[in-house]
Amino acid sequence: MTWTLDPAHSSVTFSVKHMMVTTVRGSLKIRDFALDFDPAAPAAGTVRVSLDADSIDTGQQSRDVHLRSADFLATEEHPAIDFVSTAIEPEGDRWAIHGDLTIRGTTRPVALDAEYAGTVANMQGGRSAGFSATTTIDRDDFGLTWNVALEQGGWLVSREIKISIDLEVVAATDAEAETRAEDRERQRISA
């Protein structure tokens, strides 16, 4: 079953330690999303998420400009951050979602600790489902190595980035699912 993203009720956020004493939080916008999922057979599901790297927002413009630069995300050359699942291991409402994460042109395997909140009837007469997931990555693994050593020891920006994902999705009608599949095929062919 194909599901579409409800962007008004979905978010991707991250946090990273600054000077080893405070936490900087930010967000990224979802630019493309595909989920095929049957609640009765979650292990057969697939998910693909593409984030707009240029949309990074930490609430401070000068920091966001630096994060978009070649020191970090290099968004002019690498406009997307992509995740493609390779396996889903459900255990009740807790799942391990394994996949490949690509940041700045470097792809590494990651595992998301996910929670399936269930499926409900929505206000439009269709079905909605909710998911949340977290993971922690080492930014050095993706070539995000810029840093400054602190006089007292440690680093200006920690290597560890915590990522949190909250998604609300809506079951696509057969016509919507067919149109999305055709659009993805056209994009694949033109790439």
Q: Distance (Å, rounded) from C-alpha 175 to C-alpha 182? A: 11
Is residue 128 within 8 Å of 120, Cβ to Cβ?
Answer: yes
Domain range for 79 is 2-179
Q: What is the DSSP letter of 172?
A: P
**Residue 153: CB atoms within 10 Å:** 7
Q: Distance (Å, rounded) from C-alpha 186 to C-alpha 181? A: 9
Question: pLDDT tens for residues 44-56?
Answer: 999 999 999 999 9
Into how many domains does the chain fold?
Answer: 1
Domain of 39, CATH number, reads 2.40.128.110
Question: Which tokens is 114 given?
Answer: 């996910």
Q: Distance (Å, rounded) from C-alpha 60 to C-alpha 80? A: 21
Average pLDDT of span 19-30: 87
- Establish if 189 belongs to a structural domain: no
Is residue 136 within 8 Å of 110, Cβ to Cβ?
Answer: no
For residues 92-101, one letter each, b for 16 or more C-beta atoms within 10 angstroms of the residue's C-beta and e for the rest, the string is eeebebebeb
Question: pLDDT tens for residues 84-128?
Answer: 999 999 998 899 999 999 999 999 999 999 999 999 998 888 899
- Establish if 190 belongs to a structural domain: no
Average pLDDT of span 141-169: 78
Residue holding tokens 């007292």?
Answer: 152
What confidence score (pLDDT) does residue 63 get? 87
- pTM for the full model? 0.85
Question: pLDDT tens for residues 176-188?
Answer: 544 555 566 666 6
Distances, alpha carbon 107 to alpha carbons 17, 24, 79, 83, 97, in Å: 23, 24, 14, 9, 16
